[in-house]
Chain A
Amino acid sequence: MMTRRIASLATLAILALGIASAQNVLINGAGATFPYPMYSKWFDEFHKKFPTLQFNYQSIGSGGGIQQVTQGTVDFGATDGPMNEMQLKDFADKHGGSGILHFPTVMGADVPAYKVAGVAQALNFTPEALAGIFLGKITKWNDPELMKANPGVKLPANDIIVVHRSDGSGTTYVWVDYLSKVSKEWETKVGRGTSVNWPVGLGGKGNEGVAGQLEQTPNSIGYIELIYAVQNKITYGKVKNSSGAFVEASLASVTAAAAGAANQMPDDFRVSITNAPGKDSYPVSSFTWLLIPEKISDATKKKAIKDFLAWMLADGQKMTEALAYAPLPKAVVAKEQKAIAKIQ
């Protein structure tokens, strides 16, 4: 008698456990690869704090993230470049007119890296020099534009070899977005995109491909993601910002760029912070965004996503620097906290 009761109790307990685990909320997302280490840390910490909420993120690239969230195969997307008008319209068309929200999460930056014989120190680059080099107009390391910005440095008379990313990438988007802002010629001839029709240069796959090619090729210059450069101890140059100061990329100077741009932050957060104002701002910086649909029909998922955003803006921001990501400036955090209410 007793054993049977215990057995039935045990069965009930197992059933109850089953039901409880069925109530676990699984939220799927996909998108940008650049913030992936940060996101997986956040989702892991968040899951520890709220064991019933589980986020699953696949770093398939920004393009894939936008596509999948538009088609509704994932609950949220992530991108390194904001969605354009056409993509926003496409989303609204497929979701009965309701839109999608951009939430900046962390920031990154691109740095100019190079290998020039006899030059060990950080070189200074003006916007004109960078645009000229990547347009193929400045072809020698001892070009007057480079000599002028680097007094006292012995630059050789060798040909400059340009290295760029061959894979479609948010890193490229940030770099060409910057070049488009500082050079009219770049904007009209090449333009912005995750892949562009490069006027000159060799393509390397990924940050590691570009870094490897720079290492192998004398007199080369390329751009790489700041975090990659820091982690691999690659020397990189300073870039002249809109206030005329040569600034080295760092977490502080990237956050300064975001703060400089915060005043003109539009309500939908779709803003490029390259060439941002402010004397401490590093000019080749960018946000990376989470893409959250305005309307989430599943109430538990909606609450989970809102809770996560609130947590990410508070506790989550404290974890960024350990992973070498620049945290959001306070003004942007405050504005985002208000925007969470837009999720219906």
Chain B
Amino acid sequence: MAASSTTISSAGPARPARSFVQRLRGGDEVAYLITFAAAASILLVTGLLVFELYINSSASRAKFGLSFLVTKTWDPVAGQYGAWPFIYGTVVTSALALFIGIPLGVGAAIFLAELAPPAISDALTFLIELLAAVPSVIYGLLGIFVLIPILRTVEPAIRAVLGWTPLFQGPFYGVSLFSAGVVLAVMIIPFIISISREVIRAVPGDQREAALALGATRWESTWDVVVPYARKGIAGSIFLALARSLGETMAVTMVIGNDPKVKASLFAPGYSIAAVIANEFTEATGQLYTSALIELGLVLFALTIVINAMARILVAGTGGRNG
């Protein structure tokens, strides 16, 4: 008896959890079934979603096949549909958002979790969590009325420094892939900060103490010990941010320019998958048109899975080297 109670207490992570287990004594099966049903319902919803997208896009899949993915024309009048400009716009804006968002977000999280005085850290974290709850249409409006005028004034400076690269060529109209990427960065940074801060704080104190005891400076212990320890959790926050930026609709459509063309320059207008679906679905007439839009939804789903899988493999790879 005593032996079994010690196994339970060692299995449970902490004291309150143990009492929870005790209260559920005899109800293990019930708890298992209920939680299993909850997990299964998520799988079921996802499965149904893919199934519906697949069935309802049959007309477009039959007509265009795989060439749908690489065709550049989107012409509802002629019945010609291709997803390439939208895939390109979605990937480029999300990549730019991560490029800006990861250093800022992770940097802020490190500061808030490790370096800032607790009072400042708590106040700032509260504000950042508020930011995460702001509706995306607000970010879109801020993008149009605040961010774009600012970008207009800094655009000559960017052009002077980076204008020789193909990424910053051509006229800048305000709305562009660049603006969409920056707005997305602003939107995803709160997610990266608030989750990364939690996981960094959850790193056991003895890790820090051990590093300090070995003669590391505070920054060395943070950067070389604490951050690598929290690496998986930080990566998780970035995946969540990536998912949000791939699927973001309202804010993107307001600042991206909604022009389905593929241009190397970030200053050029573009289009994203989620934006074109939201824009054109309500007025889409004819089976082929709606089915092409639904196939775009399927493409976005697949794109999210592929990018997430790639990111996970990347993280696992670096883990192997470091570990």
Interface residue tally on A, bucketed by range: 35 or more
Q: Report A164-211 residues with CB < 8 Å from chain B CB.
A: 166-170, 190-198, 201-205, 209
* CB atoms of A197 and B285 under 8 A apart: no
Task: Answer whether residue B185 sits at the interface, using C-beta atoms and an 8 A cutoff.
Answer: no
* CB atoms of A216 and B149 under 8 A apart: yes
B292: shortest Cβ distance to chain A, in Å? 11
Task: Answer whether residue B16 sits at the interface, using C-beta atoms and an 8 A cutoff.
Answer: no
Select B144's contact among A66, A191, A195, A216, beta carbons within 8 Å: A216
Kindly list chain A residues whose C-beta atoms are within 8 Å of the C-beta of B278.
167
* Chain B residue at minimum C-beta to C-beta distance from A200: B259
* CB atoms of A198 and B259 under 8 A apart: yes
Kindly list chain B residues whose C-beta atoms are within 8 Å of the C-beta of A87.
285-286
* CB atoms of B257 and A191 under 8 A apart: no
* CB atoms of A168 and B284 under 8 A apart: yes
Q: How far is the CA of A322 from the CA of B30 in the complex (A)?
A: 64
Task: Answer whether residue B283 sits at the interface, using C-beta atoms and an 8 A cutoff.
Answer: yes
* CB atoms of B175 and A196 under 8 A apart: no
Contacts A202-B173, A202-B258, A205-B253; is A194 near B283 (CB within 8 Å)? Answer: yes
* CB atoms of A213 and B75 under 8 A apart: no
* CB atoms of B173 and A161 under 8 A apart: yes
Q: How far is the CA of A197 from the CA of B78 in the complex (A)?
A: 9
Select B259's contact among A63, A169, A192, A203, beta carbons within 8 Å: A203
Select B254's contact among A64, A86, A197, A205, beta carbons within 8 Å: A205
Kindly list chain B residues whose C-beta atoms are within 8 Å of the C-beta of A37.
none
Q: How far is the CA of A66 from the CA of B74 in the complex (A)?
A: 22
A178: shortest Cβ distance to chain B, in Å? 15
Task: Answer whether residue B279 sits at the interface, using C-beta atoms and an 8 A cutoff.
Answer: yes
* Chain A residue at minimum C-beta to C-beta distance from B260: A197
Contacts A191-B77, A193-B77, A213-B175; is A203 near B257 (CB within 8 Å)? Answer: yes
Q: How far is the CA of A60 from the CA of B173 in the complex (A)?
A: 31
* CB atoms of B280 and A197 under 8 A apart: no
Task: Provide the A195-238 mask, 1 if CB < 8 A to any CB of B, else 0.
Answer: 11110011111000100110011000000000000000000000
Q: Report B209-263 residues with CB < 8 Å from chain A CB.
A: 253-254, 257-260
* CB atoms of A202 and B175 under 8 A apart: yes
Kindly list chain B residues whose C-beta atoms are within 8 Å of the C-beta of A192.
77
Q: How far is the CA of A27 from the CA of B281 in the complex (A)?
A: 25
Task: Provide the B267-280 mask, 1 if CB < 8 A to any CB of A, else 0.
Answer: 00101000100111
Contacts A161-B173, A217-B174; is A167 near B283 (CB within 8 Å)? Answer: yes
Kindly list chain A residues whose C-beta atoms are within 8 Å of the C-beta of B253.
166, 205
Select B279's contact among A62, A159, A205, A212, beta carbons within 8 Å: A205
Kindly list chain A residues whose C-beta atoms are within 8 Å of the C-beta of B77.
190-193, 196-197
* CB atoms of B283 and A197 under 8 A apart: no
Task: Provide the A35-69 mask, 1 if CB < 8 A to any CB of B, else 0.
Answer: 00000000000000000000000001111101100
Task: Answer whether residue B76 sits at the interface, using C-beta atoms and an 8 A cutoff.
Answer: yes
Task: Answer whether residue B171 sits at the interface, using C-beta atoms and an 8 A cutoff.
Answer: yes
Task: Provide the A241-277 mask, 1 if CB < 8 A to any CB of B, else 0.
Answer: 0000000000000000000000000000000000000
Q: How far is the CA of A191 from the CA of B271 in the complex (A)?
A: 21
Interface size for B (C-beta < 8 A) is 33
* CB atoms of A60 and B282 under 8 A apart: yes
Q: How far is the CA of A91 from the CA of B19 in the complex (A)?
A: 65
Kindly list chain A residues whose C-beta atoms are within 8 Å of the C-beta of B254.
205, 209
Task: Answer whether residue B169 sits at the interface, using C-beta atoms and an 8 A cutoff.
Answer: no
Task: Answer whether residue B148 sits at the interface, using C-beta atoms and an 8 A cutoff.
Answer: yes
Contacts A197-B74, A202-B257; is A64 near B173 (CB within 8 Å)? Answer: no
Kindly list chain B residues whose C-beta atoms are within 8 Å of the C-beta of A161.
173
Q: How far is the CA of A201 from the CA of B171 in the complex (A)?
A: 12
Kindly list chain B residues whose C-beta atoms are within 8 Å of the C-beta of A168.
76, 279-284
* CB atoms of A62 and B269 under 8 A apart: no
Contacts A197-B76, A202-B175, A216-B144; is A167 near B280 (CB within 8 Å)? Answer: yes
A222: shortest Cβ distance to chain B, in Å? 12
Kindly list chain A residues whose C-beta atoms are within 8 Å of the C-beta of B80.
197
* Chain B residue at minimum C-beta to C-beta distance from A166: B258
* CB atoms of B258 and A204 under 8 A apart: yes
* Chain B residue at minimum C-beta to C-beta distance from A84: B285
Kindly list chain A residues whose C-beta atoms are within 8 Å of the C-beta of B269.
202-203
Q: How far is the CA of A212 from the CA of B75 in the complex (A)?
A: 25
Q: How far is the CA of A191 from the CA of B173 in the complex (A)?
A: 26
Task: Provide the B153-178 mask, 1 if CB < 8 A to any CB of A, else 0.
Answer: 00000000000000000010111000
* CB atoms of A67 and B148 under 8 A apart: no
* Chain B residue at minimum C-beta to C-beta distance from A198: B259
Q: Which of B73, B74, B78, B149 has the most C-beta atoms of chain A within 10 angstroms of its own C-beta?
A: B78
Kindly list chain A residues whose C-beta atoms are within 8 Å of the C-beta of B285.
62-63, 66-67, 87, 194
Q: How far is the CA of A197 from the CA of B73 in the complex (A)?
A: 8
Select B76's contact among A166, A167, A196, A212, beta carbons within 8 Å: A196
Kindly list chain A residues whose C-beta atoms are within 8 Å of the C-beta of B75.
196-197
Kindly list chain B residues whose C-beta atoms are within 8 Å of the C-beta of A205.
253-254, 258, 279
Kindly list chain B residues whose C-beta atoms are within 8 Å of the C-beta of A204.
258
Kindly list chain A residues whose C-beta atoms are within 8 Å of the C-beta of B174.
213, 216-217
Q: List 25 A-B contacts (CB under 8 A).
A: A62-B285, A63-B284, A159-B171, A161-B173, A167-B280, A167-B282, A168-B284, A191-B78, A194-B283, A194-B285, A196-B75, A196-B76, A197-B75, A197-B77, A197-B78, A202-B175, A202-B269, A204-B258, A205-B253, A205-B254, A205-B258, A212-B144, A213-B174, A213-B175, A216-B148
Given A166-B275, A205-B253, 12 more contacts at CB 8 Å? A60-B282, A66-B285, A168-B76, A168-B284, A190-B77, A191-B78, A193-B77, A195-B76, A202-B173, A203-B258, A203-B269, A216-B144
The 10 closest A-B pairs by CB, nearest first: A168-B283, A203-B258, A61-B282, A166-B258, A197-B75, A191-B77, A63-B283, A194-B283, A167-B279, A193-B77
